[in-house]
A and B are shown apart, each in its own frame.
Chain A
Amino acid sequence: MDLDGGGGAAAGTDHQPMPVLHGRSNAIKQFTQQTLPACKPVLTPAWVIGTFFLMGAVFIPVGLICLHASQSVNEILDRYDIECVPDGFKSNRVAYIKNASIPKSCHRYLKVDKHMKAPIYIYYQLDNFYQNHRRYVKSRSEEQLLHGLGYNRTGSCEPQASENGLPIVPCGLVAWSLFNDTYSFSRGTKKLDIERKNIAWKSDRDHKFGKHVYPFNFQNGSFIGGGKLDTTIPLSDQEDLIVWMRTAAFPSFRKLYGRIEEDLEEDDLIIVHLMNNYNTYSFGGTKMLVLSTSSWLGGKNSFLGVAYIFVGSSSILIALIFLLLHVKNPRPYGDTMYLSGNRKDISS
């Protein structure tokens, strides 16, 4: 394909720009002749060293702030999946969990180390549960969640699309495996109130889960995967389900259970009444209860702070090395005598 276009007409005007159009034709000329005004950054020693110092100067404080934020968060972790199995079933936990006749209630005692300021978030944490498995992630139907029974192209939900010849709402493995341990807390004898509303994203509640879609034929099969749903409550209000259906990114994850809206004092003893219903034993998963306050940066995670401090200090180190090298071994800047052709001439 050749691109020789209109010939001389345009080129002619190039040579004798009309005075009126001077500004514009000049801009066009600069464009076509590749001489547009440009910024040409050069990595001079000053720039490089300056950049590294600046990075150090910015990153270390940021890191310190992040670290501080993370330190200010208090967390109580309690892994209960093993402790809650009655002694007789310690060797066969799967049998225990599958046996519906055995009571699943369990009590845990948590000691508050430090003052915890409300709101205190209650999470459950699962490990070794691959919510990000492809089979699992895909096994849902967004349309059905929104439109309910009226939507019947639920092929993606297989093998959990229908049961006893009837469609399941909500279908798919994700909903089927709904987490169903429950927790309630009391401090001393007084029961702690748990706020269980507004734990799911508002956008999910409003637009993703139908307001008029009610569970149907759910968890009716022989093989129960997890929690049951109240068929009188529309999906948009089933916040536990909504939270669960936001499948986690990694095999160990936390999900919000609720909030405690009052402060916990140091040395308080919290009694957790929990129903250990969920079967993680069959695949070696762990369950954990987490009580955590939050900072502006989120939960307790010192990674960001440490990383920022590390990067900042390495920058300063690199800057110093550069400075040293440059002082010891300076190179005349932009000296064309150093071009290889010229070097050759000199040497020969």
Chain B
Amino acid sequence: MQLDNNLVRDNVRLIYIDDSQRTNEEYEFTGNEITTSKYTVINFLPKNLFIQFHRVAYIYFLVIAALNQLPPLAVFGRTVSLFPLLFVLTVTAIKDGYEDWRRHRSDRNENNKESLVLQSGKFQLKRWKDIRVGEVVKICVDETIPCDMVLLRTSDPSGVAYIQTMNLDGESNLKTRYARQETSLMSFEGGLTSGVIRCEQPNRNIYEFTANMELNVHKVSLSQSNIILRGCQVKNTEWVVGVVVYAGQETKAMLNSAVSPSKRSRLEQAMNKETIWLSVFLFILCLVVAIGMCLWLMRHQMQIDTLPYYRKSYLIKGKFPGKPYKYYGIPMETFFAFLSSIIVFQIMIPISLYITMELVRLGQSYFMIEDKHMYDSSTNSRFQCRSLNINEDLGQIRYVFSDKTGTLTENKMEFRRATVFGKHYRNSSVVDGTTKDTETAELTKPTPLSSKGRKLKSDIAVDAQLMGLLHKGLDGSEKISAHEFFLTLAACNTVIPIPSQTTSEGSMGTEIHEDLEAIDYQGESPDEEALVAAACAYGYILFERTSGHIAVDVNGEKLRLDVLGLHEFDSVRKRMSVVIRFPNNDVKVLVKGADTSMLSILREDRENDDLSLITQRHLNEYSSEGLRTLVLAARDLEGEELEEWQSMYEDASTSLADRSLKLRQTASLVESNLCLLGATGIEDKLQEGVPETIESLRQAGIKVWVLTGDKQETAISIALSCKLLTGDMHQIIINGTSESECKMLLSEAKAKYGVKCGGFRTQSFKLKKGAESDFVDVLAESKLSNLPTEDDGNPELTMGGPLALIIDGNSLVYILERDLESELFDLATSCRVVLCCRVAPLQKAGIVDLIKSRTDDMTLAIGDGANDVSMIQMADVGVGICGQEGRQAVMASDFAMGQFRFLKRLLLVHGHWNYQRMGYLVLYNFYRNAVFVFMLFWYILCAAFSTTSALTDWSSVFYSVIYTSIPTIVVGIMDKDLSHKTLLQYPKLYEAGHRQEGYNSYLFWIMMADTIWQSLVLFCVPRLAFKESTIDIWSMGSLWTVAVVILVNIHLAMDIQRWVLYTHISIWGSVIMTYACVVVLDSIPVFPNYGTIYELAKQPTYWFSILLIIVIALLPRFTIKALHRIFRPSDIQIAREAEILRKRRFFYGSRLFWRSTS
């Protein structure tokens, strides 16, 4: 009733089954068409221009170009002034168009898929984009679901459907969904169906769905288990029929794929700040010119009419007798001087930098893609750069948020170890004298049964000893234990065996004897699958499961076990149990669970105690190896106890209120006094190189957080095996079920480990501001260890040892939605490791946002499943793993790669390079343009503040576009300070990016000071060398053009760390090209500068001046640089020296070696 009220009160959506017209009558629901593209052919030009002009830079361009069209301001010629703007617009438009075309293509593919839709009583194919809310859709096995639907009927008479939600939450196991009994018998074809579904408005919560269905007179409530969502796939169910409730953009999948915000790199943001400073400079320069003009005019007010070089008015007998010519009074003239100087100085704001950066990023991406160390040969996938805006951010990452399954691990479980009856068996040993190569395992399986060609997820290496024990046939507790051990493995689970080659509905008995039959196991968790597969390998083949019984093939002997009851796994008990009746009417309860929860409920007698001690020892061994452990136990159930349990179970499973609690109580009845059978160790195989990668990242000062949908135990064990968690860490576990509990846990933990509220944060901020600080972790540790120990009861805990925070999704719900966020932040940032378990996709994003919004630190999210999409989009940098779980993560990511371990190379090597390159590129571009502008400015000061440029219009425009752009691009793409070997060897070098060594405001101001010096030299040397000479304005301009180009190129050359052929070509080539352009421009008679260079080049003074300019301009820079390098080198410089020295030593060393041997 409560539900009803809710639905009535709130805005509900009414859906008439199989009546889409009526459904859409009142309110037109969104159709099923999806669009992710931005443009169409028609609106491309206006919309693209509109979007482009959202960039302030382009508006600036436009305004400058427009200003230049005004007659009193026409500093440059018309075509010349439009050149830069058109150039930028064209390049960007081509890029945008290409990107959108790709989006169009993928949209079209998606929209044109077809599904069976009930149309006039028959299921007929219909395109996805035409499907509407209210229609009834039939989906066959392995098809993808086109929209969110309420299940009405499935091929299974009981109304069960299995779906795979991989694309949605990244979990690869199968989920069961049910059609309501009331509808599961309805026939759709031909017959009219009537029914109304009231459901909530579209929302993005994929784990909840509230609705009810009115069928004839009945009211049936619908929940999460009755709905199947877009993007999921139907598995193991021949067909399902459902009614569309949400379509298109309103589906939960689409609502969850948040619009990816366009990302700006951190460097670019910092750069924008400096750009404002440049604007201030520009403003000051223009103001000086304007004021100068004003004062000059006031002083010469009486003369300007007759001044031969000003002459403000027409002649008396001229065209407009006596009228002023382009003279509008002193205030206006001052204003115009201001505006026209903006035009002249426009490149102070380095607009071309935006294009340059884009081109450089393109080149950097090329090298990242081509890097063969990031090529995954197993999946044949290369590195992909999907976003071209944030290459340099890779060099400044401080937080890595990683998904677990499929990212850290391969998502392949393998049964590795077993201890049965106190005896340890390892599976990777020698079997029957044959070496157990994984490749040949299939062929050398010893038993006939396991050679059945079952399709198992992995090959199980069988332990010969254990196998022998099972086949020995002798009685004894050890043998019985082993038997029960495997029986538990086979029976105590929820795995569904699926014969892949079902031939008929006939008797299973004949089928299992067919050697070709393959059984595919589908379970809730890969662990269970691995266990069942292991049991299978040892001859205990689970081949059938219904709700009433399971059938196990024990070494060829079929065993039908009735399932009396099943207590599913829950996070409180941390175990599951099944009560089965053997054919001989024995009843046993088989239990498996986490060691902590199991060891306390074992039977307490001597024998069992000894056994449990040995087993515990084994368990510790296993978990230290990073294996996921489970303890298995069993006992007989008889007489009264059985009856009592049965009645309780009956009662509990049918009760409506507190069912789970009652079931738990029931379970505790049988889950006691158990007889220990043994334990298993399962390996969730880590991807190659994961521990090393994590260790390197940690050394590099990057914090790795793991956000996973898995349970806490699994997450911890994986964290242990990938060396994320280590034994010396103190684990803080936040596991609350209510707000207050979370709050309490948080504050408790903080008190215990001495994390101060906010204090840490401000400190870390300060550190970051300092830009040369140590890594925060170090500080946190030292701070913790310095705490007085007498404060708490347990001094051991506060002493030393980094902290690890483990928090689960439930607590996060309370924490992230309330004002506990900051508390969590304080705690989490002082921990070295944070593990979040059982988190929903949007929670992942929430955690990323927690860090992003509260610090300046760069965040990177890496994941492979669709459940990571929101996190990937939220983080500053999103990395997708092209794994088994579809391509959603890749599609949403900025970078995509095949393996987690490539992350190390991506960050430490490419990230470092890209950051250093881009940082230098930005600084250099600022310098390059500013030096030019200042040079023009000094000249204007001695041209009576009239905005004369000695340089020709074309040279002014070409300067940043043609004369000097190519070397910066080449250097931005190809220069590298250190080899990848050094960078990987010393991960600490990555911290240069954290300290913002490549680009910071200190460097900016140093650079500006240098710029002013260099521009003064540029101006003064020719000024003095040609003092009182016959030099004309164009010769001077020509000299300056060439001098400034050579100067900035030599400046660049001085900073190049690695000279390759291309660098030489670009640097010297652009000097030559400048000369060529100057020669060409001076060879066109209609230009006033005609012939200048030919005359100028004859004068030795010209050449001497250029040489002098370059030497004097760069002398301070070179001196200071040399001083720094020699006496106060940075880490990078030392590493560079070491690298080169090592190489040399190696070279000389080998020579010496040769000499001594010969």
Contact = CB atoms under 8 A, between A and B. Distances in A.
A255 B944 contact: no
Interface in B918-948: 942-944, 946-948
A252 interface: yes
A105 to B, nearest CB: 22
Contacts of A163: 315, 317-318
Contacts of B173: none
Interface string A136-147: 110010110010
Given A142-B1087, A308-B1104, 9 more contacts: A15-B377, A132-B944, A134-B948, A140-B1088, A173-B308, A173-B309, A204-B1090, A279-B308, A334-B1142
Given A142-B1086, A311-B1111, A159 B318 contact: yes
A125 interface: yes
Interface in B1114-1150: 1115, 1119, 1121-1123, 1125-1127, 1129, 1131, 1134-1142
Interface size class of A (residues with CB under 8 A): 35 or more
15 contacts: A1-B388, A15-B372, A15-B377, A36-B1061, A40-B1059, A158-B319, A159-B311, A164-B317, A173-B309, A177-B309, A248-B1031, A283-B303, A307-B1021, A307-B1112, A339-B986
Given A311-B1115, A344-B778, A247 B1033 contact: yes
A181 B1021 CA distance: 32
Contacts, number: 308
A136 B310 contact: yes
A335 B1134 contact: yes
Given A136-B310, A221-B317, A331 B1126 contact: yes
A32 B382 CA distance: 13
A253 B1029 CA distance: 6
A173 to B, nearest CB: 6
Contacts of A44: 1126, 1137
A339 B1131 contact: yes
B926 to A, nearest CB: 23
Contacts of B513: none
A55 B1060 CA distance: 26
A252 B1101 CA distance: 19
A65 to B, nearest CB: 10
A100 to B, nearest CB: 16
A4 to B, nearest CB: 4
A133 B940 CA distance: 9
Given A208-B1091, A301-B1029, A336-B986, A133 B366 contact: no
Contacts of B1088: 137, 140, 142
Given A43-B1121, A201-B1091, A314-B1115, A303 B1138 contact: no
B976 A34 contact: yes
A297 interface: yes
Interface of A: 1-5, 7-8, 11, 14-15, 29, 32-34, 36-45, 48, 55, 59, 62, 66, 123, 125, 129-137, 140, 142-143, 146, 158-164, 173, 176-177, 201, 203-204, 207-208, 221-223, 225-226, 246-256, 279, 282-283, 296-299, 301, 303-304, 307-308, 311, 314-315, 318, 322, 325-326, 329, 331, 333-336, 338-342, 344, 348
Contacts of B896: 2
Contacts of A318: 1119
B1105 interface: yes
Nearest to B995: A340
Nearest to B325: A159
Contacts of B1101: 297-298, 301, 304
A282 B306 contact: yes
Nearest to A284: B303
Among B948, B1115, B1131, B1142: residue with most chain A CB under 10 A:
B948
B750 to A, nearest CB: 26
Interface in B303-323: 303, 306-311, 313-319
Interface string B1004-1041: 00000000000000000101111111111111110000
A240 to B, nearest CB: 13
A43 B1125 contact: yes
B1134 A334 contact: yes
B317 A133 contact: no
B313 A33 contact: no
A146 to B, nearest CB: 7
A322 B1127 CA distance: 10
A250 B1127 contact: no
Interface residues of B, number: 115
Contacts of A173: 308-309, 311
A297 to B, nearest CB: 5
B255 interface: no
A249 B950 contact: yes
A249 B1102 CA distance: 14
B1032 A33 contact: no
Contact of B371 (A33, A66, A283, A298): A33
A40 B1059 CA distance: 6
Contacts of A140: 1088
Contacts of B1027: 250, 301, 303
Contacts of A311: 1108, 1111-1112, 1115
Most buried by A among B1021, B1122, B1142: B1122
Contacts of A43: 1121-1122, 1125-1126
Closest 5 CB pairs of A and B: A203-B1091, A334-B1137, A177-B308, A341-B988, A159-B325
Contacts of A1: 95, 98-99, 102, 385-386, 388
A222 B1091 contact: no
Contact of B1025 (A37, A146, A208, A301): A301
A133 B946 contact: yes
